[in-house]
């Protein structure tokens, strides 16, 4: 499975339809440090950036319980994807600094909208449709990404593994 092409196609589709009322930009810097040089066109500065990094894959086999021999090889595709937006350093995450309402916080303007949008997708079905067979999501760890790199990206970092039988 080509993880980069998959996410490029998905995010390009989301951009075309304005998914969840957000604009979207895809890039695949592949290495965390290369995310620092991702640039947006002027009309994309407020978009959600989907950045694929840390690609790796491995092949495994199940062991038949009756023979002890390996059967049914599968490939694990491991990656990290960041769904992030630019923001200034002085914005509240929620209500830390008095006098600023929750409605202008990162939680309300970045974290929650991205999370809600990702959770509204049947990503498992997207994966299966894309490769034309069942893909098992064996890992999907999502955590807040805060002031990520020099671009001050905020949003979500997801570490995932897709398993596909060969």
**CA–CA gap between residue 129 and residue 16 (Å, rounded):** 19
pTM of this structure: 0.88
Question: How do residues 62-107 score in pLDDT, each as one tens digit?
Answer: 888 888 888 888 999 999 999 999 888 889 999 898 999 999 999 9
**CA–CA gap between residue 82 and residue 39 (Å, rounded):** 15
The answer to whether the beta carbons of residues 82 and 149 sit under 8 Å apart is no
pLDDT for the residue numbered 88: 82
């Amino acid at each position: 499975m080509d993880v980069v092409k998959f996410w490029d196609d998905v995010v390009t589709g989301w951009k075309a339809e304005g998914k969840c009322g957000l604009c979207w930009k895809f890039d695949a810097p592949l290495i965390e440090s290369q995310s620092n040089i991702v640039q947006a066109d002027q009309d994309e500065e407020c978009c959600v950036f989907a950045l694929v990094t840390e690609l790796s894959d491995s092949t495994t086999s199940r062991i038949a319980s009756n023979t002890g021999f390996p059967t049914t090889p599968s490939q694990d595709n491991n990656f990290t994807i960041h769904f992030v937006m630019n923001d200034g350093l002085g914005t509240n995450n929620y209500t830390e600094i008095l006098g600023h309402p929750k409605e202008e916080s990162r939680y309300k303007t970045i974290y929650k909208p991205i999370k809600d949008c990702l959770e509204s997708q049947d990503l498992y079905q997207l994966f299966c449709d894309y490769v034309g067979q069942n893909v098992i999501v064996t890992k999907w760890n999502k955590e807040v990404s805060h002031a990520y790199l020099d671009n001050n990206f905020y949003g979500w970092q997801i570490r995932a593994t897709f398993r596909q039988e060969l």
